[in-house]
Every structure is written in structure tokens, then in C-alpha cells.
Amino acid sequence: MNSKLTCAIAVMTLTVNLGAYADVSLDSCRNMALRNNKTIRLAEEGIRSARYEKKAAFANYLPGIDFTGGYMYNQQQIELLGEDAKLPTMSFDPATQQFKYNILTTPDGTPIKDPSSGSLIPTEVAVIPKEAMEYDTHNVFAGAFTLTQPIFMGGMIKAMNDITKYAENAAVAMKNSAVQDVVYGVDQAYWTVVSLREKKRLADSFVALVDSLNQNVQALLDEGMATRSDLLTVQVSLNQAKIARTKVDNGLSLSRMALAQLCGLPVHTEMTLEDEGGSDDLHRTAPQEVNMSDVYARRSDLEVIRQSINVLGSREKLALGAMLPKVAAVGMYSFSNPNVNHGFEKKFGGGFSVGATITIPLWHWGRDINHYRATQATTNAQRMLLEDLEEKVQLQVSQAQYSFNEAYKTYEMTLSNMASAEENLRSAQLGYMEGVLTTDDVIAAQTAWLAANSEKIDAQIAIRLCDVYLSKVLGTLAP
């Protein structure tokens, strides 16, 4: 029985541990998100695909070996003669030391011609039977092994290799851009949870503060020193504070779900963040001098555009290569059955052959030149897009710097406002206890205290978020 109880407790403990994370740091959230984010995994597959394409393009430099085979059934066979062929013969004449045709002559040696055709009449003939020149080609098998080695393809092979290289660089840049987007989203969600957790503490403190006032007014009412209206006013304020706390609780739960989803965890995972205890480590300042050339070089989104420009430039060379001659060396071993090299013998036979091919484009009605001009126009458009994006990045950097400095100034003012609000609340409470001020004055002081504390929390989180955004636009945000 004890062993069963121990196992049950162990299972419950394991379940709780799997569903809860304590003191999770910002770096841990980033790492979990990067491991589980599907966009990054898709980008990694894009890199893998680009690398395979690069290897495939390099293979075009190497000779290609192909096999071609076929079978054909022919209804008719080959018959080189329509009938028996009769060929005249020749005899050697010792007197003239030459060969002469054996033809029919008169006694005086005059050749006799056939009256119907006018041709000479041979006295002897060599007969080639019609059947001897008939070949069975009803079933024909043929095949060839071909080796092709490109020699000059108009620069198209090099252009294709350059395209795949730039495409791989673009895929890497796209992944880096996706990583920065994920990190930025996680940071936003993380600090939103921290902000709402601080506001929940503030809401709890405010409810306790108003509830304390409610109890004091109730005691004064019982002693006849306060009116029913004073109590109702405080109770309305207490109900409003509880409603506000409920909204904060709901917002905190939803923000935790959003952060868990970004981290690749189940949305109902309980996560306690490392910075939920509150931290005033806000001593960083925005850089005033920024080298925009370095910013452009670090920005992954701009790198994607730069690599696409390189790809389009290589496509220009590809289009130009289509207008240039192509030269290749060819080697082949071909065979057939019947063997055409050996009297249509009914077995396989063949032989080797080597050569070279050249293709020279002559006239295609402007197709290739217009395609080349189209690629040039596309490349120019992409260059203009890059210039426009660089101008927008410069504006982004300026805005981020101003927002960062403004957030710091706002935070400093909220510290002053908090001090004033706390003193005002203390004075209002003392004034109410001495009968100088009303409950409305105390509630107003409490509301001002709540607003000052809430503004301080917002200012703290704004500094964090502005810092993250500034790092993102500067291209220095790294996991």
C-alpha cells in the first residue's frame, strides 16, 4: 500500500513539474522559442534546399552520362532487292592486260545490243538472289550510352552557380531575420508579463488600501462620525478596484499563454519569470552616434535584398549567355539488334563514336535580347527598392533613439510623481482622520497614487521594450 502511495505521489509530482516552470529567464524563453519556432525551422529547410541546389548547379561543370534505349516493332521487313539481281561479269584479257565485260559480239567483234532496252547483252551474269538481301527487322532493339562534356556554354553554367550561391546567402539572411523577429516577439511578450505581474501587485495593494479605508469609514459610521453616503462612495471605489484587479488577472493569464505559445510550450503552462520580482536596472542609454553603413551591413532584411540583387545580376548573365554559342564534346557507344554494323545479324552489336557539337543562335525575333533587357530592368528596380529601404531604416533608427531617450525621461518624471503621490496620500489620510478632508479627497489621493505607480511600471517596461526595438533596428539583437 505504501509503495502504491509513493508511486502516485511521484507521478503527481512529475506532472506538476512538467506543467510548471519556475524562475524562467529571458534567455531561456528566447532559447525555447528559437528551438520550437516553425518559421525558423522552415527557414532552415530553405537553407538546406539552397545548398542542394548549389551542389546541383556545380554538377553542370562535370560530364553527364546518359543511357537511351528503345524497342520498335515494324510490320514490314527490309528488302533491298525487288527481284533477283543479275550482274555482268568481267574476264582478264592477256593481250590488253585489262579486265573486259563478257558481252555478246558479232564474228567481227562488234557488241550486240538488246533491241528493246538498247543495253549490251552479257554472255555471263552473276546472280544475287532476292532472298539474300532480305533482313528481318520486325523486332528492333536499340540503345546508346552518351557522355556529354560542356566546353563553353556562354557563361550560363557559372551564372547558375552564382545564382545558387547568392540564393543560399539569401536563405541564411532570411533565417537570421526570422530569428531576430522571434527574439523581438519573445522579449515583448516577456516584458508584458512582467509589467502585468507588477500591475497585479499594484492592484492587490490598491484593493487593500481602499478596503482599509472602507473599514475605517464603516467604523466611523458606527460611531456616528461619518455618513452613509461616505460609506457608499468608498464601497463603489472598492468595487471598481476589484474589477480593475480582475481585468489585470485576466490580462496576465492571457499574456502568460501568449509567452508560452511563443516558447513552443502548451498555452496553459505555468511560468514564473525571473524578472517578476521587479528590477530597476535601467542604467543603459541609447547610442547617439550611429554608423549607418554598419547598420545596413548588419540588417538581415537588407541582406536579403542585397542577395536578391546579386541573383538578378546573375540572371542577366544567364540571359546574355542564351545569345552566345555553346560548344560541347560528345562520346557515344551505340548498339542495336539486329546489328546494323554486321549485316543485320540477329544479335546485339555496336561501336564507339566521338565528336563535338556547337550551337549558334542566329535569329529568334528579338526573344533573347528582350528577355535580357527585362532582367536588367528587374535588377534596377530591386536596387531602387534597396535604396528606399535604407532610407526607411535610417528613419527607424532615429525614431528608436528618440523613443528610447523619451522613455528614460518619462521614467524619471514618474519617480518624482510617485514621491508626490505618496506624500499626497499620506496627507489625505491624516486629513481625513482629523476631519479636515472628506472621503472623496482620500479616494482621489488613492487614485492618484495608483496612477503614479502604474505610470512608473509602464515607463520601466517602455524602457525595456525601446531597448529591444533599438537593438533590432540597429541589427545588434542576438539570441
Compute the mean pLDDT over every residue in the chain, rounded to the nearest whole number.
Answer: 87
CA dihedral 347, 352, 356, 359 (to 10 degrees): 10
Which of these ranges, 9-18, 61-70, 103-112, 190-199, has the smallest mean pLDDT?
9-18
Cis before 88? omega within 30: no
Q: Which residue has the higher pLDDT, 328 or 479?
A: 328
Residue 8 has pLDDT above 70, yes or no: no
Q: What is the pLDDT of residues 86-98, one digit of tens each?
A: 788 888 878 788 8
Average pLDDT over residues 275-282: 66
Residue 116's region, left for phi above 0, alpha for psi from -120 to 50, else beta, is alpha
> In this predicted structure, what is the pLDDT of residue 278?
61
The answer for residues whose C-beta is within 8 angstroms of residue 249's C-beta and 6 or more apart is 200
The answer for residues whose C-beta is within 8 angstroms of residue 474's C-beta and 6 or more apart is 287, 290, 295, 298, 397, 400
Average pLDDT over residues 219-237: 85
Residue 458 has pLDDT above 80, yes or no: yes
Average pLDDT over residues 181-210: 92
Residue 16 has pLDDT above 50, yes or no: no
Share of the chain above pLDDT 90, in %: 56
Band (pLDDT 50/70/90 cuts) for residue 306 is very high
Band (pLDDT 50/70/90 cuts) for residue 13 is very low
CA atoms of 456 and 278, how far apart (whole Å): 12
**Where in 323-402 does DSSP place strands (E)?**
326-337, 349-359
- Highest averaged pLDDT of the listed ranges 91-100, 101-110, 263-272, 382-391: 382-391
Q: What is the pLDDT of residues 421-450, one digit of tens each?
A: 999 999 998 988 887 888 888 889 989 999
Residue 46 has pLDDT above 90, yes or no: yes
Judged on CB neighbours under 10 Å (0-12, 13-18, 19+), 276 is middle
Average pLDDT over residues 353-364: 92
Average pLDDT over residues 276-300: 75
DSSP code at position 343: T
> In this predicted structure, what is the pLDDT of residue 219?
86
Q: What is the pLDDT of residues 367-417, one digit of tens each?
A: 999 999 999 999 999 999 999 999 999 999 999 999 998 998 999 899 899
Q: What is the pLDDT of residues 118-162, one digit of tens each?
A: 777 787 778 888 777 777 778 889 999 999 999 999 999 999 999
Query: In this structure, what C-alpha cell is assigned to residue 249?
Result: 488577472
CA atoms of 61 and 112, how far apart (whole Å): 71
User: pTM of the full predicted structure?
Assistant: 0.79
> In this predicted structure, what is the pLDDT of residue 281?
57
> In this predicted structure, what is the pLDDT of residue 1?
43
> In this predicted structure, what is the pLDDT of residue 340?
77
Residue 285 has pLDDT above 70, yes or no: no
